[in-house]
Structures are given as structure tokens and as C-alpha cells.
């Protein structure tokens, strides 16, 4: 599992403290003491590009046997380069796309 916020100095992801300062979210690493303003700009997790588009991805669970049921959906950002095929599928269907990893148990 990847963490949304990680200290850029020591890679700590658990012992972090968030606070609001000047209408911005700041984060302090309790391990090394680094403090930074959290950038909320959506970026591609693979290439760090800001050329991303919002999309909805289905949240699915097994309901009976091998049957999958859509429980809800969540907002994700698809990269125009790294996720081109998923983005095209979403734009064509205009409904939540299936997650890359489906539940197996």
C-alpha cells in the first residue's frame, strides 16, 4: 500500500503531524523535524505529471460465490500518458471504471 503523504527527507509515512497555517495544510515529520506545505495538486503516481483527468472508479466486493457487486465509487485521477487506455474507456462509457485489482476472496 502506498501512503499519500511521505516525508521527502527521511521517507517516514506514519509519524506525521498535520496542521493548518495561513489557509494551507502543513505537515511536520516527527521523526526528522522537516515541515512542508502539502501540495494538493493531483499528480500521476507513476510519472508525477499534472496532466491528469478526474474519473470515478467502482469499489467492488464479492457478494455471493464469484459474483461481484459495485458497492460505491471513488474519485481517482488518470494520467493522460500513463493511463491513456483507462481514460479513453472512462470517457467513452461515462460510467465508473472497474478497478485494476478485483477481489478474489
Banded pLDDT at 40 (limits 50, 70, 90):
confident
80 neighbors 52 (Cβ within 8 angstroms): yes
More reliable by pLDDT, 62 or 89: 89
The rounded Cα 11 to chain-centroid distance in angstroms is 18
Going from N- to C-terminal start, the domains of the chain cover 1-40, 41-105
Whether 29 shows a pLDDT value over 50: the answer reads yes
Whether 1 shows a pLDDT value over 70: the answer reads no
Contacts of 20 (CB under 8 A, 6+ apart): 26
Core vs surface per residue 79-92: b (16+ CB within 10 A) or e: beebbeebbeebee
Contacts of 71 (CB under 8 A, 6+ apart): 59, 60, 61
Sequential DSSP letters for 2-46: --S---TTT---SSEEEEEETTEEEEEETTT--EEEPP-----TT
Q: pTM for this structure?
A: 0.67
Whether 3 shows a pLDDT value over 70: the answer reads no
Amino acid at each position: 500500500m502506498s501512503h499519500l503523504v511521505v516525508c521527502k527527507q527521511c521517507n517516514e509515512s506514519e509519524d506525521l503531524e498535520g496542521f493548518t497555517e495561513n489557509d494551507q495544510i502543513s505537515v511536520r515529520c516527527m521523526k526528522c523535524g522537516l515541515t512542508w506545505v502539502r501540495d494538493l495538486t493531483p499528480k500521476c503516481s507513476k510519472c508525477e505529471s499534472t496532466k491528469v483527468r478526474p474519473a470515478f472508479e467502482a469499489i467492488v466486493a464479492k457478494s455471493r460465490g464469484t459474483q461481484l457487486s459495485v458497492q460505491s465509487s471513488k474519485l481517482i485521477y488518470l494520467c493522460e500518458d500513463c493511463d491513456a487506455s483507462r481514460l479513453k474507456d472512462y470517457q467513452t462509457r461515462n460510467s465508473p471504471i472497474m478497478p485494476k485489482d478485483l477481489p478474489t476472496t
